[in-house]
Amino acid sequence: MTYDLNMSHQSPTTKMQAVETTTTLRSVTSSRLVRTLVACSLAALVAGCATDAPQDTWQPKGPNSQMINDLDWVVFGIAGVVGVVVFSVLAFAIWKYRDRGQPIPEQTHGKPALEIGLTILPALILVGIAIPTVGTIMDLNETADTECIVNVTGQQWWWEIDYPVQDGCGGIDEPIVTSGQMVIEAGTKVLVRGTSRDVIHSWWIPSLNGKRDMVPGRIHTVRLEADEPGIFAGQCTEFCGLSHANMRMEVIAMNTADFAVWKSNQTQDYVAPAVGSLAAEGESTFISQCSRCHQVDGLTDSNDELIISRPDQNVWSGAAPNLSNLMTRNTFAGASWDLLSKQCRPGVWDADPSTIGAAYLDGVTETCLNEVELREWLRNAPAKKPMYADPELLEETDGLVRGMPYLALSEDQIDQLVAYLLERK
Amino acid sequence: MFTTGSKLLIGSSVFAMVAAVVYGVTQNEALGIVGLVSAACALAFLAGVNVWAVDSNLSAVNATAVATSEASDDPPGASIWPMVFAVGAAAVLLGLVTQQSIFTIGIIVLLAAGAQWAVQAWAESASNDSTTNAAVRGRLANPLEYPLLGAVAVGSIAYALSRVMLWLSKTNTIIAFVTLATVLACIGFIFAARPSVKRGAIGGVLTLGAVAIVAGGVAAGVDGERDIHVHETIAADAALFCDSPAEFEIDEGASQTVSTKASTYTISLTAAGNLVFDVPGPVDAGAEAISLRRSNPNNIVFRNDSGEARRLTLDLGPAAVEEGVAAAEDGHSADGGDSADEEHGDKSDRNLTCTSLVEDGGAQLITVKFDEPSFAYADDAQAFRFYVPGTDAEIDVVVP
């Protein structure tokens, strides 16, 4: 089909109408474009005023993020002045020397003084920015004054957090392993030693410090310190596969006494469910279905032998979350979902600094359990969180799963597991 | 006359077939071969249709040329290509029942001979003038022939040289190739200094040299390679090597294998004979046990400042017993004649890994991975510990 774009065969009246129509259309289109741009700009502006923004980089809650924030203001201040000057000069030149039909002025070439000046000036500005920037980077990389070591290990798509034996952190006599939520003592300089088991991940708690890539085979460090007790959200910031967006984490800062209680809770001996209870049936189900990958410290088999999980034989990354104290945490599945119900969550997350530690230590009770989503997860984990559930995609990993596979659990088994997990405190 | 479209289709078909052969030889995977051969067949079919329907109708392509030219009516001349084609076909059949390499060579010969035969036949019918026909043939075939023949010649010489290199001893290899390079440089210098030397002489000398190299390569290939010693590795018998303070062949140049990356842990053997470790952060550095992660490659640099050559060994617990496997083989005796398996034979039931023997002041990287936590071996006092054979230095490992 051919469209006749030539209006030469049309009458003058028709041509005039066509021109008017085109002008009107352009005007409408231009107007819509302007309105859209203004609306987008306003939306972006208003977004900056959000109060419920746990990952806001402009709300530092510790000295390390405060250092970054202070540097930001210096850099943005200098960049702002430069931007205003450049755009003002540009706008003035465009307006002053706009085309009004005047003859083209005499063209000259070369202004050595101006060119040298415009080279030296930006160099001086960059030096001015570099001095505080380098100083801040060096301060943020300082490890000598840290008081507590926490190891984090990234894998698709959750963070393992372990506390090695040390005199720091108020003293840790046996290793503590948890996942998704890192508990620290407020006011303590924590050194995070991070790495990855599979692909590159990035650890970022915006309120407490900047990002740090976690690279397989390397140990990267990042400092964390919270001014006061609170929950500080973060997220993996290096694309790491299908569920990258679901790889979250939190840092929970609490006072010294609460932190001591938390450490003690994490190293309690295993308490088996009461004989004949639903949780006891859940223990059997856990052993048969879950213990291949998930470790529960102290869990024994019928021969009273310790059950040692072997995630390296089942999971591509070689690890699965330790569930010994699952219900002392607030989240599960890579901190993507709450273990606390919507009714109970604000009691912890919105608690003031003086009570948040105690509220967190209460853990997840039967009445506060987010049973719906935990059941959904147990019923079909890949349906809830994309994890390469297609068996054909497992060929390249020799059959090893990424994330938690579909286990085809019956509803009875799910009931049993929920009852069993609820006792993992 | 082939039109541009026909040339494109023929070339694409040949390319797809060559790609199928290369893919088949390198990947040995059916799906890709089927796809490429199918593409080649489809392209060949289209080329045939194009040649038959368009190219043969010369009057449609260039009516003036047809009207004014004197087409050749001579019978086809003698050609060697049918014979080569037959050899290729025989090789294909032979290769089908014997070796894949013969089949591959047969396919290549078949394609090359078929192409040459077709081009020659086509060129001979272009006109009654044999000179013109030769020029027409050259214009079509030479851009393909010259690079291919050049590649074959260079490849043959390089392969022949490699055979000679592998046939000579290490020392003679160096002497031979220094001599060869010198001779080549001298010949080049003479040719450059005397431009009046005839091209025939240059060609003759180069041809002689190439023939000599290829002949040498054939002779060396027939005689076989020299004995190339395969170095021992720790993985071959970790129980023997790792628990010995003695030097083995695998320990040669240990520090040269260091690929010390940033951000790793360090374990040092001090002059006082103690093992100490250094990790980022002050809190747990120097503690009695080093904490390492499970299911994760832990990179550790072993630094030896003890004054003697030492290795760092990691005990990972009891080894899985394999029936019929000897604990330690003879023949790995250390310097001085003491057999390490005699001295440390009781360790052969342990799962060990270690560095090579590191000289004083040297360092080497070791990567260790723990599949199980240390509490899985709570009853085994030796499991999950680094130690230095021949000393009392050791340090426990905690794997949560």
pLDDT digits (tens, 9 = 90+) for B169-209: 989 999 998 999 999 899 889 888 888 888 888 889 889 99
pLDDT at site B172 = 92
Interacting residues of A414 by C-beta distance below 8 A, sequence separation 6+: A375, A378, A379
| Residue of A219, A313, A319 with shortest CB distance to B294 | A319
| Residue of A149, A310, A313 with shortest CB distance to B283 | A149
Question: pTM of this prediction?
Answer: 0.68
**Tens of each residue's pLDDT in chain A, 425 residues:** 444 444 445 555 555 565 565 556 566 667 888 889 999 999 888 877 777 788 888 889 999 999 999 999 999 999 999 999 999 999 999 999 888 888 888 888 888 899 999 999 999 999 999 999 999 999 999 988 999 999 999 999 999 999 998 889 999 988 999 999 999 999 999 999 999 999 999 999 999 999 999 999 889 999 999 999 999 999 999 999 989 999 999 999 999 999 999 999 999 999 999 999 999 999 999 999 999 999 999 999 989 999 999 999 999 999 999 999 999 999 999 999 999 999 999 999 999 999 999 999 999 999 999 999 999 999 999 999 988 767 677 777 888 888 898 999 999 999 999 999 999 98
Q: Beta strands B350-354 and B313-318: pairing type? A: antiparallel
C-beta atoms of B279 and A165 within 8 A: no
pLDDT at site B239 = 82
pLDDT at site A11 = 57
Residues of B in Cβ contact (< 8 Å) with A147? 283
pLDDT at site B342 = 43
Q: CA-to-CA distance for A414 and A376, rounded, in angstroms?
A: 9
Model confidence at B262, pLDDT cuts 50, 70, 90, reads: low
pLDDT at site B132 = 84
Q: CA-to-CA distance for B384 and B293, rounded, in angstroms?
A: 12
pLDDT at site A239 = 96
Print burial letters for A21-37: b (CB count within 10 Å at least 16), e (below 16).
Answer: eeeeeeeeeeeeeeeee
CB-based contact A218:A154 (threshold 8 Å)? no
pLDDT at site A58 = 85
pLDDT, tens only, B96-123? 888 889 999 999 999 989 988 888 888 8
- CA nearest to A425, candidates A364, A372, A371, A368: A364
pLDDT, tens only, A207-262? 999 999 999 988 999 999 999 999 999 999 999 998 999 999 999 999 999 999 99
pLDDT above 50: residue B241? yes
A292–chain B Cβ distance below 8 A for any pair: no
- CA nearest to A360, candidates A346, A379, A378: A346
C-beta atoms of B284 and A144 within 8 A: no
Mutate to test the interface with A, among B294, B374, B395 (most CBs of A within 10 A): B294
A170–chain B Cβ distance below 8 A for any pair: no
C-beta atoms of B299 and A218 within 8 A: yes
| Residue of A149, A176, A313 with shortest CB distance to B281 | A149
Q: For B14-34, what is the mean pLDDT?
A: 85
Dihedral of CA atoms A377, A380, A381, A383 in degrees, nearest 10, equals -110
Weakest mean pLDDT among B89-103, B223-237, B266-280: B223-237
Residues of B in Cβ contact (< 8 Å) with A168? 283-284
State the smallest CA–CA distance between residue B249 and chain A in angstroms. Answer: 28
pLDDT above 50: residue B337? no
pLDDT at site A4 = 44
- CA nearest to B316, candidates B236, B396, B257, B244: B396
Q: CA-to-CA distance for B221 and B204, rounded, in angstroms?
A: 25
R_g of chain B, CA atoms, integer Å: 34
pLDDT at site B56 = 63
pLDDT at site B325 = 41
Residues of A in Cβ contact (< 8 Å) with B297? 216-217
State the smallest CA–CA distance between residue A318 and chain B in angstroms. Answer: 5
C-beta atoms of B376 and A306 within 8 A: yes
pLDDT at site A348 = 95
Weakest mean pLDDT among A89-98, A387-396, B139-148, B295-304: A387-396
Q: CA-to-CA distance for B173 and B181, rounded, in angstroms?
A: 12
pLDDT at site B258 = 57
pLDDT above 70: residue B59? no
Residues of A in Cβ contact (< 8 Å) with B376? 306, 308
Give B227's Cβ-side CA count (13 Å radius). 2
- Please count the other Cβ atoms lying within 10 Å of the Cβ belonging to residue A347: 15
CB-based contact A329:A262 (threshold 8 Å)? no
pLDDT at site B139 = 85
Q: Which of A389-398, B28-37, B177-186, B373-382 has the highest mean pLDDT?
A: B177-186
| Residue of B371, B372, B400 with shortest CB distance to A177 | B400
State the smallest CA–CA distance between residue A306 and chain B in angstroms. Answer: 8
Model confidence at B63, pLDDT cuts 50, 70, 90, reads: low
Mean pLDDT score of chain B, rounded to an integer? Answer: 82
Taking only residues 271 to 330 of chain B, the set having a beta carbon closer than 8 angstroms to any beta carbon of chain A reads 279-284, 287, 289, 291, 293-297, 299
Q: Predicted ipTM?
A: 0.78
Task: Locate A6 and state its tokens.
Answer: 């030539």
pLDDT above 80: residue B8? yes
Please give the DSSP secondary-structure letter assigned to residue B250: G
**Percent of chain B predicted with pLDDT > 70:** 84
**Minimum Cα–Cα distance from A192: chain B residue:** B281
pLDDT at site B194 = 86
